Each structure stands twice: as C-alpha cells, then as structure tokens.
Copies of this chain bind each other. A is one copy, B any other.
C-alpha cells in the first residue's frame, strides 16, 4: 500500500482548512471581547510588503481548490477576491470545503504522472502531478495557512497548536 493522490491532497486540505476556520473564529472573538475593530485584524500584516490576513486566506484556499481541481482534470473554479470581513472569509473557506467534498479518490487516479501546467507571473510552469502537489501546491498552502495563524498570534489572539490543527 502507498498513498493515493487523493489521500495526499483532499483530506489534508480539509483538515487544515478546519484549523484555519477555527483560528479565524478565535480572531473574531478576540476583537469582539477587546472591543477593537475586527478590520484591524483582517488588514494586519507581518511586514509592510507582505499580504494582509484576508489575502493569506484567499491564497490558501486558492491552492486547495487549484490543486484538487487540476489533479482531477477539472477546470479550476474562479473565486472573486472580495472578502473583507471574518464572515466573508469563513464563507470562502466554506465554499472551498464544499468543492473539496465533490472529489472522489478515483477522480485523481493517474494524476501523479500527468503533466500539470500552472500560470505563474514569470510564465507557465509545468510539473508532473506528484511534483506539483508535493513540491508546489502543498508548501504554498501551508505557507499561507501558517502565516494567517502567525498574523493573528502576533496581534495577541490566544491561539495554540491545537487550533492550527482544528481540534475544538
């Protein structure tokens, strides 16, 4: 037995998005409790030239929907990047989770060896499905999920590793 492309992607995205949703709920609750503007957290960044919280969530969900759709040979659905509130970010995670629920393991069979072409700022880049998943989509996904957590943690939100893992 080895790992299927489905096992290495969809359940991992689902678990970590559950964590991201919990982390955002705790951010929203913290702002409410302190009586501060929730927008201050939505717009918070770790550096002036890094993306703010809302964009981190958008990009994390983009990698989850992009990887799962491409590996299943489906068109990647387009989400407009208009989320400006905690409720809207939760809705985006919800839409992504719903999409992930539509994939079956067999949809991704054989995708490890298929060529996946990704549009990048620097032009197109082509990968095998396995390299795309393990060495591009997954590290990018984790980067943005972790940075969202780090932004909130840096702004005082009481979070721990169990929140990152979505353990309520």
Does A5 sit at the interface, judged by CB under 8 A? yes
Does the CB pair A134–B5 fall under 8 Å?
Answer: no
Question: For the complex, would chain A's binding face be called helix, strand, loop or mixed by DSSP majority?
Answer: helix
Does the CB pair B142–A143 fall under 8 Å?
Answer: yes
Contact of A147 among B15, B112, B130, B146 (CB under 8 A): B146
> Total interface residues on A, using CB and 8 Å?
35
Does the CB pair B165–A139 fall under 8 Å?
Answer: yes
Does the CB pair B2–A139 fall under 8 Å?
Answer: no
In the complex, chain B residues whose CB is within 8 Å of the CB of A73? none
Q: A-side interface residues toward B, CB under 8 Å?
A: 1-5, 7-8, 11-12, 15-16, 46-47, 50, 110, 112-113, 130, 134-135, 138-140, 142-143, 146-147, 149-150, 153-154, 156, 161, 164-165
